[in-house]
Amino acid sequence: MFKPKGVIPALVTPLDKNGQLMEDALRKVIDYTIAGGVHGLFILGSSGEIYGLTPEQKRRVVEVTVDHTAGRVPVYCGASEITTRDCIQTAQMVEEIGGVSALSVLTPYFMSPTQTELADHFKAIAKSTKLPIILYGNEARTQVKIDVKTCEELSKVDNIIGIKDSSGDMTKTAEYLRVTPRESFSVLLGRDTLIYAGLCHGATGAIASTGNIAPKLVADIYNTFVAGDYQKSLELQFKLAPLRLAVDKATFPVVLKEGLRMVGIDVGYAFGPAAEMNPESRKLLENVLKDLELYQIY
């Protein structure tokens, strides 16, 4: 079974002012991140504004990404709708297109399922597709937790192969690692400030939104760790921290899109009501990128 590992940026979806997909900009982001040494690409996640895309746009994002990536790195795709039915529809659409290595399925949002209902939700989606499934917990945004016992139960499903943990709770991350089979189940960090800590505990990598802007820096946290240079990996983690903290200075994912503009790739706008950064926050981001020697004047 496929085993997710490394640094996988959660790509933004480039959109013009009218909310239309900017396909050429998506290709530029793909090339930029792959050139930075990332180990995979993740599309149709929260960074990719899956919640605002039409079914036709979702399909086109998958088609463009698979075609342009052309096997250079694995492609991961979100199937993160609110209902089980709609997640299954997205999963089957992705499988039909082909070229995607695994699906990521976020917990439902706007509703609060019990852990039994949540487990049944994930099992139904896994049963509906031949693609491997990565569970995705982001309780700060969805208000729905994946309990450790639920993760342990789901890790026994043949094509559920991992979890992305964005809780920010390293005790929970460590428990996911303790109770799931290391040889067949991957735990991936979803908090960019905790990549090093996760690797120390046995995580296999991270799905990292800052990988859009600073792909080489984020990838090298992983690369130096697996090479045994733990001190360098920690130094790079500290170096990344100001960028990740800057991401919270505007409505998500506005900072990611503004950061890509600042490194030379215009990816347009976020869906309203998200608005552009205020001047103070934009200046902070600019200074962070200058410190990282990523800022481009164009």
User: Which residues sit in the known binding site?
Assistant: 207
Give the closest residue to 118 by CA, choosing from 76, 149, 164: 149
Rounded Cα gap, residues 242 and 287, in angstroms: 10
Rounded to whole angstroms, what are the CA distances from 4 to 15, 71, 101, 185? 28, 15, 9, 9
List, in sequence order, every residue forming a beta bridge with 164; answer none if it has no partner: 136, 188
Binding site for pyruvate: residue ranges? Answer: 207
DSSP string covering 67-81: HHHTTSS-EEEE---
- Which residues does the annotation mark as catalytic? 136, 164
Question: Contact at 8 Å (CB) between 30 and 68?
Answer: yes
Bridge pairing between strands 41-43 and 6-9: unpaired
Rounded Cα gap, residues 53 and 156, in angstroms: 32
